[in-house]
Amino acid sequence: MTYEYSQSNVLCVNGVALYAEDYGIMSRSSYHRLKKTSFNQVRRGGNGRSALIEFDSIPEKFKSKVIQLFGDPYEVLKHNKFIDHLEYDQEAQEYYNNYTLDSGDALPEKNKKEYTANATILNGIKTITTKTSARRRALGGSKAKMWDRLLEVIQALPKHTYPHSLPTNVRSLKRKYKTYQEGGYEVLIHRGFCNKNSEKINDNAKIWVLTRWANQVDRCANVAQLFREYNAKCTVEGGNH
């Protein structure tokens, strides 16, 4: 990787890339001269590791060549670091694989992948928004306009890897994130798949749902748990809901 953050969170360039003949940024002799006069060497090379040079310590005429070849490091790392915080949600995959619709059918494969990708990304958002170091590495700075930057990197994710359907504006993305934090996997399922329960629920079922939700001794962790228990009860009682 040409760009990376050091352990002290300094944006750096791989030293070898600066003098590699294939790139033509500078000669090896110029590199060693600048190490003495301009460069801030954040990490020494050796033992299989390349030296790291602080990006902002590189003279402008060379820095412009680096950007031309490898792109704006802040933009490049912003996307790469966000992906680093995306851990595929196996639990979500299992949840959607085992989910049964009112019709008795499973969710379509396309939707299973979509909802799992949504959960994976929303989990990543939680990691980044709740940990200062993660936010700084992934988005490059303070909380100011954090959600704008999140939206930008999410929309840039490769759809063949993350076939998500998350909102394309900040306000809706925040609302989706908040709903997911409160309701879990269930709330990511499109209403078109889940619009029958409210129409068919009878008075006894309504009382059960309200009583279960109000139970302060054996509390439901979230709405998703309430739905799971309700569906399990319906299955045991032969679908009487």
The confidence band for 197, taking pLDDT boundaries of 50, 70 and 90, is very low
pLDDT-derived band at 9 (thresholds 50, 70, 90) equals: confident
Q: Which CA distances in Å does 153 have to 74, 78, 114, 134, 160? A: 12, 7, 18, 14, 15
- The answer on pLDDT for 134 being more than 60 is no
pLDDT at 54: 95
What local confidence, expressed as pLDDT, does residue 198 receive? 43
Answer yes or no: do 154 and 88 share one domain: yes
Q: Which residue has the higher pLDDT, 140 or 210?
A: 210
* pLDDT over threshold 70, residue 240: no
What is the structure's pLDDT at 146?
82
Domain assignment present for residue 77? The answer is no
Are 121 and 56 within one domain? no
Q: Which amino acid is at 8?
A: S
Residue by residue, DSSP assigns 59-80 as -HHHHHHHHHHH--HHHHHHHH
Residue 172 has pLDDT above 80, yes or no: yes
The answer to whether residues 34 and 91 belong to one domain is no
Shared-domain flag, residues 60 and 129:
no
pLDDT of residue 217: 86
pLDDT in tens, 64-107: 999 999 888 877 776 777 888 889 999 999 999 999 887 778 89
Instruction: Tell which residue, 100, 95, 112, 118, has the closest CA to residue 196.
Output: 100
Alpha helix positions (H), 99-169:
109-130, 132-139, 146-155
Domain end position, chosen among 42, 71, 100 = 71
Residues 66, 168: one domain?
no
The residue ranking higher by pLDDT, 30 or 105, is 30
pLDDT at 192 over 50: yes
DSSP classification of residue 49:
B
Please answer whether residues 73 and 67 qualify as being in contact, where contact means their C-beta atoms are separated by less than 8 angstroms: yes
Q: Are residues 63 and 146 in the same domain?
A: no
Q: What is the pLDDT of residue 199?
A: 45
- pLDDT reported for residue 89: 95
Confidence (pLDDT) at 236: 62
The answer to the question of residue 151 being in a domain is yes
Collapse the DSSP code of 100 into the 3-class scheme (helix H, G, I; strand E, B; otherwise coil) and give the result.
strand
Identify the band that residue 188 occupies on the pLDDT scale cut at 50, 70 and 90. very high
Instruction: Say what the pLDDT of residue 195 is.
Output: 44
Is 14 within a domain? yes
Which domain does 207 fall in, by range? Answer: 197-236
Let me know if residue 99 belongs to a domain.
yes
Dmax (CA) for the chain in angstroms is 83
Residue 36 lies in a domain: yes
Q: Do 89 and 119 touch, CB atoms closer than 8 A?
A: yes
> Which of 94-103, 136-145, 180-189 has the highest average model confidence (pLDDT)?
180-189
On the question of pLDDT at 56 being above 60, the answer is: yes
Task: Determine the pLDDT at residue 237.
Answer: 62
Q: Same structural domain for residues 109 and 157?
A: yes
The pLDDT of residue 126 is above 80: yes
Query: Between β-strands 3-5 and 41-43, what pairing exists: parallel, antiparallel or unpaired?
Result: unpaired
pLDDT tens across 212-224, in order?
A: 888 888 888 877 7
Shared domain for 189 and 225, answered yes or no, is no
One domain for residues 56 and 126: no
Share of residues in the chain with pLDDT > 70 (%) = 85
Q: How would residue 201 be classed by pLDDT, with cut points 50, 70 and 90? A: low
Residues 221, 203, single domain; the answer is: yes
Structurally, how many domains does the chain consist of?
A: 3
